[in-house]
Structure 1
Amino acid sequence: MRFLIYGATGYTGVLVAERAKALGMTPTLAGRNAEKTRALAERLGFLCRAFALDDRAALDDALGEVDVVLHIAGPFSATSKPMADACLRTGTHYLDITGEIAVFEALAARDAEAKEAGVMLLPGCGFDVVPSDCLAAHMKRRLPDASELDLAIMGLGKTSRGTAKTAIEGIAHGRLARRGGRIVDLERPLEKTFRFPDGERQGIAVSWGDVSTAWHSTGIPDITVFFEATGPLRRLAYMNPLMRWLFS
């Protein structure tokens, strides 16, 4: 299988490229910065390409040589559409590691288009949202009559900068949850106590990818995602909307 990693020189991109090397894979590395991409490719013994997502000819040429692209260059709210557009044009399967609700919803809306092109559009195949989505699906199989799903996640400080930024932006730009099968903006901060292995912790509702994906995986109509209510997250949640936007 021929595949390309776009955004290979970022924090997560380097980790993915190094892991691919350890597994004996030979991806093509790509990104906007030619010098950084070339240096990483030479260190790992991979081929490389340098192009921006607004360079349609270069983008299509690169994707035309591979079967799958692993898109790691965020913010995905800005980069997902041009990459997905190119994948549909070239018949290349699409993977990314987004945790952004808007991206999940936008790609889900292109389901018929993707099927007609014979292309897989699969966002969120990293920490956002694979483990939590698998857990939600497992829970639904054990509790088939479940009508409400609360997902609580702790340990934000141990995640990558991109994941942490997505969580903070999830508060800064509203508190999206699913109610009655529809995505809605909660009117005020929502907190809840959860029991973790090391004891009870307070969680605060955030806009997280599972609000979109868990609906498709479980069909549960009411879904809320909480992160551990650390000091910075709680302060941001209780700021007025303008102040949240300025701090995000």
Structure 2
Amino acid sequence: MKTQIWILGGTGRSGRTIAAHLAQRGLTAVLVGRDAHRLHAAAERTDSETLQVPSLATAVSEIGRQRPAVVINTIGPFTTTAPEVVHACRAVGSHYLDLANDVAALSAAFEMHDAATRAGHTLVTGAGFGVTATESVVVKLCEGRPAPLRVRVDMVPSMAMEEGTAGEALIGTLLGGLAGRRITDGHLAPARILSDAVRLTLPDGSRVTTASMPLGELLAAHRASGARHVLSASSETPASPLIRAMMPAVSTLMRWERLRSFTTRRLARVRVKAKERPREHSWGHAVATWADGETREGWLRLGDAQAYTGAVAAEITSRLLAGQGRPGAYTPAALFGSALAESCGAEYLLPRPGGRGHASDSDPTR
């Protein structure tokens, strides 16, 4: 079998970013997509090869025929695209990874763990900024320690936006986060969306407000820590009191599959304007509290969140090609440990040795 790395949705921003990071590692990607002109332009920019297909179904068939070594899925919504792509990869022994970051998509991926183990292939979900940055801090805080009682994770992205459409992967993730969830007594439970707002002081002195938005970080943090109570939050939440008051009703409507699919398709076509990233750094943040009252807080500092997503996916791909994966379904830090984040250019800011203090002056538990 010829060693190939396929990127489904290779003409999108995530696909191009991953391909560029692979090229920096001396690896050539095959960009898979429908538009020949966009494929050609993206391939020239990232020193990649191309495969034009008219549909995802055709791409799935080609996976079975050409047997690539690794398939990177950037096409959302992942609850729809991932199962058939994973099935095709499992049948021929290809490793699979995606950028999913919603509770439903990660839950579905974890349910495929046993099948992946039996097939001897590795499935990595959540291979992007949000899951990797927050999960890695949790893993770091809990290394060599018993499971904490409570964990809170906060995602604080900063990234430049290029002009174009929002895309179904992003919109699907955001709409998935509208179904309020948290981990209570070890189980996924309903929760009010945008609750538990906290004003965080970042290690660089700037301040942001985060509120509950249960994306994939919730499940990743729970699996990484074993905590009985877990809350995930994001700085990318609506700040308006009116919007916050409306969100419970909106999240209820989004539970209707047909309405959610329709809304995803419509919003995915909305064009966004180019803008610079709002701050120098992106941050992953976690606070873990143990039954004896000890609390530890940690941060992961990195640059542009989109660029970091490309670095994470490329680093995982490189390790899978080197035979460092394990059969089964995993999130990035669960598979490769806390050092993965650092190998992608991030830096930990952790509690002082032997102390109970935090790396910042914020109190995220109040």
TM-score normalised to the size of structure 1? 0.85
How has the CA–CA distance of structure 1 residues 230 and 177 changed in structure 2, closer, same or farther, with 3 Å as cutoff? closer
What secondary structure is seen at the aligned counterpart in 2 of 1:20?
Answer: helix
How far off is 1:240 after superposition? Answer: 4.9
How far off is 1:166 after superposition? Answer: 5.7
| Structure 1 segment 1-248 matched on structure 2, within 5 A | 1-51=3-53, 52-55=55-58, 56-62=60-66, 64=67, 66-141=68-143, 144-155=146-157, 165=171, 168-172=174-178, 174-187=179-192, 189-193=194-198, 194-197=200-203, 198=205, 201-228=208-235, 231-232=238-239, 235-243=242-250, 245=254
**Cα distance in 1 for residues equivalent to 2:63 and 2:245:** 42
Q: In structure 1, what residue type is equivalent to 2:18? A: V
How far off is 1:234 after superposition? Answer: 5.7
What secondary structure is seen at the aligned counterpart in 2 of 1:213?
Answer: helix
Q: In structure 2, what residue type is equivalent to 1:100? A: D
What secondary structure is seen at the aligned counterpart in 2 of 1:89?
Answer: helix
**Cα distance in 2 for residues equivalent to 1:228 and 1:234:** 15
Question: Does the 8 Å contact 2:102/2:177 carry over to 1?
Answer: no
How has the CA–CA distance of structure 1 residues 165 and 141 changed in structure 2, closer, same or farther, with 3 Å as cutoff? same
**Cα distance in 1 for residues equivalent to 2:186 and 2:206:** 32
**Cα distance in 2 for residues equivalent to 1:155 and 1:238:** 24
Q: Which moves more between the two structures, 136-145 or 121-130?
A: 136-145
Q: Which moves more between the two structures, 212-221 or 184-193?
A: 184-193
Q: Which moves more between the two structures, 185-194 or 70-79?
A: 185-194
How far off is 1:157 after superposition? Answer: 6.3
Q: Which runs of 5+ in 1 are unaligned?
A: none
Q: In structure 2, what residue type is equivalent to 1:5? A: I
Q: In structure 1, what residue type is equivalent to 2:57? A: D
CA RMSD of aligned residues (A): 2.8
**Cα distance in 2 for residues equivalent to 1:36 and 1:233:** 38
How far off is 1:243 after superposition? Answer: 3.9
What secondary structure is seen at the aligned counterpart in 2 of 1:190?
Answer: coil
What secondary structure is seen at the aligned counterpart in 1 of 2:28?
Answer: coil
Aligned to 2:340: none
Q: In structure 2, what residue type is equivalent to 1:126? A: G
Q: In structure 2, what residue type is equivalent to 1:54? A: A
What secondary structure is seen at the aligned counterpart in 1 of 2:21?
Answer: helix
Question: Does the 8 Å contact 2:10/2:16 carry over to 1?
Answer: yes
**Cα distance in 1 for residues equivalent to 2:170 and 2:44:** 30
How far off is 1:95 after superposition? Answer: 0.8
Give the structure with the higher percent helix.
1
How far off is 1:89 after superposition? Answer: 1.4
How far off is 1:11 after superposition? Answer: 1.1
Higher relative contact order (CA 8 A, sep 6+): 2
Q: Which moves more between the two structures, 234-243 or 106-115?
A: 234-243
Q: Which runs of 5+ in 2 are unaligned?
A: 255-262, 268-366
Question: Does the 8 Å contact 2:98/2:124 carry over to 1?
Answer: yes
Aligned residues, how many? 245
How has the CA–CA distance of structure 1 residues 230 and 211 changed in structure 2, closer, same or farther, with 3 Å as cutoff? closer
**Cα distance in 2 for residues equivalent to 1:102 and 1:233:** 27
Q: In structure 2, what residue type is equivalent to 1:23? A: R
Question: Does the 8 Å contact 1:151/1:225 carry over to 2?
Answer: yes
How far off is 1:45 after superposition? Answer: 3.8
How far off is 1:144 after superposition? Answer: 2.9
What secondary structure is seen at the aligned counterpart in 2 of 1:108?
Answer: helix
Question: Does the 8 Å contact 2:193/2:248 carry over to 1?
Answer: no
Question: Does the 8 Å contact 1:156/1:228 carry over to 2?
Answer: no
**Cα distance in 2 for residues equivalent to 1:232 and 1:202:** 9
